[in-house]
Amino acid sequence: MRFTLRVWRQDNQFDKGRLVMYVVDDISPDMSFLEMLDVLNERLISEGEEPVAFDHDCREGICGMCGLMINGNAHGPDKLTTTCQLHMRSFDPNEPITIEPWRARPFPVIKDLVVDRSAFDRIIESGGYISAPTGSAPDAHAVPVPKDDADNAFEAAACIGCGACVAACPNGSGMLFTAAKTTHLGLLPQGQPERYSRALDMVGTHDDLGFGGCTNSGECTAVCPKGIPLEAIGRLNRDVLKAATRSPAKR
């Protein structure tokens, strides 16, 4: 198959950037989207043009490193699929494919399709953990956890931190990411002691970093490759509200 691509090229953070048209040949339907970009890059190198920079690593949908806006959809047309797990059988060769980086204020473009998502790390650092120093743990069976709670916590913990939720949100909000973590930890008995301070601290950091507010448009959950439910944001909001009504000493 032959595809026409319009790819965002930007030399560095300060460059204005532009869409550049390329045609790629000999694409098989079994190729992954990133393998199609590999084919393009091999050709660009042979023609003396710098290859397109894009982030990727595990190529099995779990590390969260890849992430492209494909025809305006975060991670492309397939539901519950990261860019690396997307295959060319999902595309019509007659339609051009536009490939852009995530666009959000807290995610500046580094080069071409590569963005800086370190703001997500800052959110986790501000409270997305349980304080359990190594060696201090009681036996794993000391506290039983109801299976439903464990399963729901797992569902939220499946977030890969790719940033699609932010890229898809009209407000550039990172609430689904933040809520996935507070939900994961807040549903487990081990996460209770820091539950409310965690919610307040993480949301505070989220706002300080320039992410937008959540208006429940639901675009985030629609593109989330791991299917993190919007309900997580509801849980986070309840925790923040509860935290706000508590006296500071009890947070």
Partner 1 sequence: MYTEGAPICDPKTPDGPLEKRWEQRRFSARLVNPANKRKLTVIVVGTGLAGGSAAATLAELGYNVLSFCYQDSPRRAHSIAAQGGINAAKNYRNDGDSVFRLFYDTIKGGDFRARESNVYRLAEVSVEIIDQCVAQGVPFAREYGGLLDTRSFGGAQVARTFYARGQTGQQLLLGAYQALSRQINAGRVKTHPRTEMLDLIVDNGRARGIVARDLVTGQIDTYTADAVVLATGGYGNTFYLSTNAKGSNATAIWRAHKRGALFANPCYTQIHPTCIPVSGSHQSKLTLMSESLRNDGRVWVPKAPRDSRPPHMIPEDERDYYLERMYPSFGNLVPRDIASRAAKNICDTGHGVGPGGLGVYLDFADAIDRLGKDAVAAKYGNLFEMYQQITGEDPYQVPMRIYPAVHYTMGGLWVDYDLQSTIPGLFVIGEANFSDHGANRLGASALMQGLADGYFVLPNTIGDYLADGPFPPVSPEAIAEVEQDVVDQIVRILQVDGDRSPDDIHRELGQLMWDHCGMERSEEGLRKALEAIPALREEFWRRVRVLGTGDGLNQSLEKAGRVADFLELAELMCIDALHRTESCGGHFRAESQTEDGEARRDDQNFSYVAAWEYGPQPVLHREELRFDTVTPSQRSYK
Query: Please, which contacts does 242-246 make with residues 24 or more away whose CB atoms are closer than 8 Å?
Result: 242/196, 243/196, 243/197, 243/199, 243/200, 244/200, 246/196
Nearer to partner 1, 76 or 212 (CB): 76
User: Would you count residue 191 as binding partner 1 (CB under 8 A)?
Assistant: yes
89 binds partner 1 (CB under 8 A): yes
Of the CA atoms within 13 Å of residue 5, those in its CB half-sphere come to 23
Shortest Å distance, C-beta 245 to partner 1: 25
- SS3 of residue 21 by DSSP: strand
Q: Which amino acid is at 245?
A: T
- Note whether 67 binds partner 1 by CB under 8 A: no
Select 39 or 222, whichever has its Cβ closest to partner 1.
39
Please identify, among the stretches 81-89, 170-178, 209-217, 235-243, the one whose residues bind partner 1 according to the rule CB under 8 A: 81-89
Residue 59 or 251: the one with the smaller Cβ distance to partner 1 is 59
Q: Which of residues 24-43 bind partner 1 (CB under 8 A)?
A: 28, 30-32, 34-35, 38-39, 41-42
Q: Which of 19, 23, 50, 241 binds partner 1 (CB under 8 A)?
A: 50
Q: Are 109 and 16 in contact (CB under 8 A)?
A: no
Using CB under 8 A, which of 1, 4, 6, 59 touches partner 1? 59
Listed in sequence order, the residues at least 6 apart from 126 whose beta carbon sits closer than 8 Å to its beta carbon are 201, 202, 204, 205
Q: What share of the chain is helix, strand, coil (3-state, %, to 5)?
A: 40, 10, 50
Q: State how far the Cα of 176 lies from the Cα of 182, in Å rounded to an integer.
A: 10
Q: Is 208 in the site for partner 1 (CB under 8 A)?
A: no
Q: Is the dihedral of CA 215, 97, 17, 80 positive or negative?
A: positive
Binding residues with partner 1: total (CB under 8 A): 79
Decide whether 78 or 207 has the Cβ nearer to partner 1.
78
On whether the CB atoms of residues 182 and 198 are closer than 8 A, the answer is yes
Stretch that binds partner 1, among 57-65, 94-102, 167-175, 236-244 (CB under 8 A): 57-65
Q: Please tell me whether residue 235 binds partner 1 under the rule CB under 8 A.
A: no
Q: Which helix (H) or strand (E) holds 74?
A: strand 73-74
Range 105-164, binding partner 1 (CB under 8 A): 110-111, 114, 116-118, 120-121, 124-141, 144-147, 150-151, 153-154, 157-158, 160-161
Of the candidates 1, 9, 17, 53, which one interacts with partner 1 according to CB under 8 A? 53
